Amino acid sequence: MKLRHIEITNFRPYRDVEIDLTNTDGHIHIIEGPQGAGKTSLHRAIQWGLYGGKGAVTNYKSNFNETAATNEEEDMGVRIKFKENGRDHILEREIERFNHERPSAEERVVLIIDGDTRHEGEDANDYIRDLLPEQLKDFFFLDGEKIQDLIDDERGMRAKKDIETVLKHEAIINARDDLEALISDRFETERDRIESEREERSELDDEIADLREEKRDLKERQEELKEERAEVAGDIDATREEIERYDEELIKRLNELDDEIRQLESDKQDALEQMQQSWSDLHVGILASTIEDAVDQLRDRQARFENLRTALQKQEIVESLRKEAKEGKCPICGNGHVESVADAHVGEEVDASEVELTREITDCRRKSSTLRDAPLPPMSPNQAAANVQELRDQIRDKEGEREEVMSEYGGRPEEGQKERLESNLQSLEEKQRDLDEEWSEVRGSLEEIDDRIESKRNQKRRKDGQQAYNAILDKIEAAETAIDHLDNIRREHIEQKRDGIKDKMNDVFGVVSQSEFIRGRYQGIDFRGDPGDEDSFVLELVKTDGTRKAMEDRPPSAGETQLTALSFIFGLNEYAKYSTTIVFDTVAGRLDLQNSRAQGEFFTTLDEPIMLLVTDAELQKLEPAIEDDIGVHYRIRPTSQMDSDLKEVKRR
């Protein structure tokens, strides 16, 4: 990634500046400026253009130019042209704030390749990180003030990680990280999910069992309803048939037969009483003929007395007529020619008076009546028994006829029974409707339960069980085994490269450490301890007598630290699978003149371009060694608004 052209807009002190690194043979580019002029801001602008930083709002608030903010300008951006694998790239990163009343900002990043292919947003970010991983930027965007941070990890893990990254172990690291993430984010999550789902499956099994129990209860109720409905339907049919059998003529005939039977029963009872009385009056019956004779005699005597009374009455009439005839008049017509009236003949001489005769007649009548009223049995016991038997036969006949009618009718109806049957029929029909409604509800509930059971089964099918749990455990074990293999591969690879890296570091150290003091005390640098140890990549200075000075023991001077870090960084860069224009801020601030010039001579040996951000004092130390390799030279100068501008000084 060779930087070709850089444009900066409203970033910190820079309003609108450009750095053109094309059309030059030199590979050492100088950005010169005094303390506070903006060298570090330029350093940060390039890194922000490539990687973005901590988000749009933070970058906007931290880096937006104060003059631009005062003028209510909106845009902040960096535009970088670079060449990679023979292809031209233009990377634009900018932040725009459209509403002054809203403190939010939006970041936009676009990458255009060969003027045609276009990437935006995260696609563009991913592309840049593939060319140069962000975790390696400290190896290519150096800060002399912080360079010692690359080697001061007391356990050497930072150095080891840097070595792995520079050796392009990124694929292994990423694979390991991916596997760890896979275990953590997916497999363990999946395991936890499956464990949870196993519990959920158990809960679903319980729910399904409860639903099945509820279904069984509903099935039993359905069977009960089926029987009840059939029974009610049968009762309804029977009741309707019974009601239909209520024919008015049959009922009337049955009622008549009941009346006739009751009357015959009454007659039979009377006949039985007569028969009982006839047996009681049997002794009176024996005198019946004598009483009859006496009655006949009394009747004859009464008739004689009545005849006598009649004769007496006639005689009195004749005497009256005679008296009238003696006067010469007819007692019948009143004529006067009647001479006499014949005597009335009554058959016998009547001695008694009419009153006496009447008394006798009355006495005969009384005696005759008394005899006639004597309690003689109306019939004989035999006749009475015959009457009773005849009535019994008549009752049996009527009862037989009634049984025939009742058989045809279906039973003896009670009073109001038809109304009760009709009321019962209405109740049965209401019950049938209730049963039908409950049947429908039960059937609907069964269908709902079947749906719920099927839903629970589907949920259960989607829940993994023991087999899936065992499978995920196998995957976790396989991933952990793969991580162990990757760690072994990384370790073996680093151990293979360890001696080569050490030699390269010492080559650089031999070039940059030219002062008599450094050379008199140290012969080089090395890694501490056994390569198999986890901390075997802690850097140590090797003294001239062969003893070692670990960087964390009695911390070295700033100059020793910077030379060690430079040796480590540029020695490691010899193995780097990535490349870019190195941007180095505060190059020689901690080095003396001799070591600064030695460092400059080392820069001339580099294959890749390097941009040095230096003060004039640093440039004075470096320039004798690098002047023939300087490409472009810009000087930072203040503007009238106290911003910073770049003026090109030299172009080779």
Instruction: Convert the pLDDT of each residue in 56-101 to its tens digit.
Output: 677 777 888 989 888 888 889 999 999 998 999 999 999 876 555 5
User: Is residue 472 within 8 Å of 194, Cβ to Cβ?
Assistant: yes
Tokens of 129: 């990180």
Is the residue at 615 inside a domain?
yes
Instruction: Please name the residues in contact with 581: beta carbons below 8 A apart, sequence gap of 6 or more.
Output: 1, 2, 3, 21, 29, 82, 140, 608, 609, 610, 611
d(CA 416, CA 423): 11
Distance CA(281)–CA(578), nearest Å, equals 156
DSSP 182: I
Domain boundary among 358, 376, 394: 376
SS3 at position 119: strand
Q: Are 572 and 162 in contact (CB under 8 A)?
A: yes
Domain final position from 309, 343, 376: 376
| Overall pTM > 0.85 | no
Last residue of a domain, one of 376, 391, 406: 376
Residue 613 has phi, psi (to 5 degrees) of -100, 105
The tokens describing 380, both together, are 């004989």
Domain-located, residue 298: yes
631 occurs within a structural domain: yes
Give the number of other CB atoms < 10 A from CB of residue 74.
17
Please report whether residue 440 resides in a domain: no
Q: Which residue stretches of the chain have pLDDT < 70? A: 56, 97-104, 145-174, 176, 245-250, 279-292, 325-352, 371-382, 384, 408-418, 463-466, 469, 490-491, 493-494, 528-538, 550-556, 558, 575-578, 588-590, 650-652
Q: Is residue 601 a contact partner of residue 28, using CB atoms and an 8 Å limit?
A: no
Assigned domain for 604 exists: yes
| Concatenated DSSP letters of 363-407 | HHHHHHHHHHTS---SS-HHHHHHHHHHHHHHHHHHHHHHHHHHH
- Cα separation of 50 and 132, whole Å? 9
**What angle (nearest 5°) sits at the alpha carbon of residue 223, between those of residues 219 and 228?**
140
Domain for residue 481, yes or no?
no
Contact call for residues 96 and 74 (beta carbons, < 8 A): yes
Q: What is the total count of domains within the chain? A: 2
* 248 vs 577: CA distance, rounded Å: 118
Q: Could you read off the pLDDT of 17-62 as tens digits, one per residue?
A: 999 998 888 899 999 999 889 999 999 999 999 998 777 677 777 8
Region label for 328, one of left (φ > 0), alpha (ψ between -120 and 50) or beta (otherwise)? left
Residue 383 lies in a domain: no
Distance CA 272, CA 266 (A): 10
CATH of the domain at 64: 3.40.50.300
Helices (H), 132-247: 137-140, 157-166, 170-181, 188-244
Cβ(460)–Cβ(201) below 8 Å: yes
Dihedral sign computed on CA atoms, order 149, 150, 151, 156:
positive
Q: Is residue 227 part of a domain?
A: no
Tell me the residue range of the domain where 334 lies. Answer: 287-376
